Structures are given as structure tokens and as C-alpha cells.
Amino acid sequence: MNRTKIFAIAIAIAIGGIATISDEAVSQMNAWMSNKNHNRIVQIQNEGGVQNSSGMVEIAYYSNSSFKITSPKGITLMVDPWRNDPSGAWGLWYRMEFPMTEVDIGLSTHAHFDHDALDRLDANMLLDRMGGTFELGDVKIIGIADKHVCVAPGIIPWTDAVKQFEGRDDPCPPTNMRHLDNNLYIIETGGLRLLMWGDNRADPPASVMEKIGQVDVVFVPVDGSRHILDYEQADNVVVMTGAKVAIPHHYLVPETTFVTSTLMTALEWTERHPNTILDKPTVQLSTDSIADMKGHVMYFGSHNMVTNEGGTG
């Protein structure tokens, strides 16, 4: 067989392979379409950041479990952007698409539709379910592999739906499917240690807790329906981690999320603790500003960057 025929066959195979890729998959392979570049990353490599240190860590809430973290030197991270379930099995949760957002680093804790819309980020890099350690500029990220909650503690028995969806009786570890894995992230920046809990189980093994150590801020998945953690489990996460500040997530934000999600607000849990009801979708923290706090809850409520509810950015 001559080279021309071999080349023609290779092209035909390649075209055929491309043709079999689903529209959903293609929509997520979008980095090549961006008209941006990673010159910011080059600058960070050379200078440690893109601005002089502000001394503050900014946290911006994008509804559900999604937060944008900005380091003192201007490095941006987005954790757990969301989308509606592409399978249709879990119904319509969100009123709109997650806004296309430019960040340096995109992260996802686990492979659920309400946490994994990394295609909605115009990101310089993506860390999907990362384990191990990553460092850039004034940011260090530690990924710790553990497991998602597998027994619904609240009023909606979604565990039964998982069993039906998977077609088996026991979705729990150690034989769980990948979507019930979860990776916790510790983000170290500005002298603070921030723990993104994701949808992790409430009782990680001692080896995981040793890796976590003590943190300054913990993001806790708690709401009135007890969809991920019940109130006692959420309280225990705050105590176990020694967090000065706890920030609820995975609760109902009516401006972005339909009540058919079955979520409820986290106001009741918030009010069980020393708390600050935030009046906008961003907050800036430093080691000094939270030094005297212990288990203090900061609640964004409906203030979010997606609908600009209560915000200016």
C-alpha cells in the first residue's frame, strides 16, 4: 500500500472519529476557541502575581457551590461552576446557564452537573478532581481524594434515585461509581487556609483529616432540606476543621435555582451560630480580620454574582 492510500485511510478514520463525538462533548472542548492567551500565567511565573499584594483574599459567590477566590496578588480561581443535568434524569435546576467567566484556574470537586461545568470557564488551566499539590504565585492548592455523601440524610431520599439511575442496590464506597467520588481542596493564600468541602461525606477517615489539618475558612454544604449534610454533620465539620469562619453553600438561591431542585435556604442553620448576614456577593478576608472568630458563619443568602443580586460587580 502506497503512502497516498495510507494517508487517505488515516484522514477517513480521523473524520469518522470526529463525527462520532457527541455535540455535548464538543461543546466542552472549547479551549481552542478562546481568543485569549495565558500571558497572565507567564507574568505570574516571572513576578509571582499580576498586581501588588492587597493583603486580602476576596471570595465571590456565584450561587450553588460556586465561588471565585482572588488571591492578594490577583490570581483567580473558580470552584464548582454548575449546569443543568445533561442526562435529564434530575430535572431542571437552574434558570440560566452559568456565565462564561474568565479565571486563571478552574476547579471541580466531583463529577456532578451542579459542580462540573468547567466548559463555562474561560480558564488558563483546569484542575478537575485534582489530587496532590499545585502551586502558582501566591496560591497553593492541595487536593485530597475522598468520597461523596452516599446516603441522603435529609427529606428527599436522593440515594434511592441514584440506585435506580445506576441500576444497582449499593452506591456506597468502596465500590461506588466515579460520580460519588469527591476531592476536597485546601487553598492556601494570603496566610489563610480555605477548605472547599464539596459534597464530601461527613465522616472522612482519620488519614484524610490529618491531611486537612486546621483551616481558617471552611465551605460547608448545608441547607434546610439537609440535601448533603444535616445540621449536626455540618456543625461537626466546622468543629473538626477548627475553622474560624464557615461559609454555607449548596442551598437554594431562588434568583438562579428552581425550587424543583428540592434545596432550601441555609438561613436557619446560619442563625444557630454566631453569624454575619452579608449584604453583597463578595467578602474580603485577612488573617487579622478573622483572628478572633471561631465557627463564625458568613452567609451570602441570595447575593450572587450571576444575577448581580445585591452586588455591583
Which pLDDT belongs to residue 305?
97
Q: Would you say how long the chain is, in residues?
A: 313
With bands split at pLDDT 50, 70 and 90, how would you rate the model's confidence at 15?
very low
307 within a domain of the structure (yes/no): no
The whole-angstrom separation of Cα 152 and Cα 156 is: 7
Residue 312 scores a pLDDT above 80: no
61 within a domain of the structure (yes/no): yes
44 within a domain of the structure (yes/no): yes
Which pLDDT belongs to residue 308?
84
280 within a domain of the structure (yes/no): yes
Residue 188 scores a pLDDT above 60: yes
In the chain, pLDDT over 90 holds for what percent of residues?
Answer: 79
Handedness of CA 92, 269, 81, 97 (dihedral sign): positive
CA atoms within 13 A on the CB side of 108: 22
Instruction: Tell me the average pLDDT across 43-68.
Output: 97
162: cell is 441514584
Residue 12 scores a pLDDT above 60: no
Q: Which CATH number does the domain housing residue 164 bear? A: 3.60.15.10
Question: Greater confidence, 29 or 179?
Answer: 179
Instruction: Tell me the average pLDDT across 111-139.
Output: 96
The whole-angstrom separation of Cα 39 and Cα 298 is: 35
| Extended beta strands in 87-216, E state | 101-108, 121-128, 132-136, 139-147, 181-189, 192-196
The whole-angstrom separation of Cα 280 and Cα 299 is: 10
Which pLDDT belongs to residue 24?
55
Residue 14 scores a pLDDT above 50: no
Instruction: Tell me the average pLDDT across 186-195.
Output: 98
40 within a domain of the structure (yes/no): yes
Calculate the average pLDDT of the chain: 91
The whole-angstrom separation of Cα 162 and Cα 159 is: 5
Domain count across the chain: 1
User: Which amino acid appears at position 308 of this protein?
Assistant: N
Instruction: Tell me the average pLDDT across 102-130.
Output: 96
Instruction: Tell me the average pLDDT across 85-99.
Output: 92
Which pLDDT belongs to residue 1?
52
Count Cβ atoms within 10 A of the Cβ of residue 176 and give its class: 0-12 exposed, 13-18 middle, 19 or more buried. Answer: middle
Ranges of H-type helices in the chain: 3-19, 23-28, 39-47, 158-166, 206-212, 231-241, 267-270
pLDDT digit string (tens) for 270-309? Answer: 999 999 999 999 999 999 999 999 999 999 999 999 998 6
Which pLDDT belongs to residue 31?
82
The DSSP secondary structure of 248-306, one letter per residue, reads EESS--TTTB-GGG----SHHHHTTSSEEE-SSSEEEE-TTTTTT-SSEEEE-TT-BTT
Residue 2 scores a pLDDT above 70: no
Which pLDDT belongs to residue 120?
94
311 within a domain of the structure (yes/no): no
Which pLDDT belongs to residue 7?
46
Which pLDDT belongs to residue 9?
39
38: cell is 495565558
In angstroms and rounded to an integer, the radius of gyration of the C-alpha atoms of the chain is 21
Q: Which residues contact 249 (CB under 8 A, 6 or more apart)?
A: 61, 64, 65, 67, 219, 220, 221
pLDDT digit string (tens) for 22-37? Answer: 555 555 577 888 888 9
What do you get for the CA distance between the two ends of the chain, in Å?
Answer: 62
Residue 91 scores a pLDDT above 90: no
124 within a domain of the structure (yes/no): yes
295 within a domain of the structure (yes/no): yes
User: Quick one: which H or E segment has residue 69?
Assistant: strand 67-70
- For residue 97, give its domain range: 3-299
pTM beyond cutoff 0.85: yes
Which pLDDT belongs to residue 87?
87
Which pLDDT belongs to residue 313?
38
In the chain, pLDDT over 70 holds for what percent of residues?
Answer: 89
Instruction: Tell me the average pLDDT across 211-232.
Output: 97
Count Cβ atoms within 10 A of the Cβ of residue 1 and give its class: 0-12 exposed, 13-18 middle, 19 or more buried. Answer: exposed
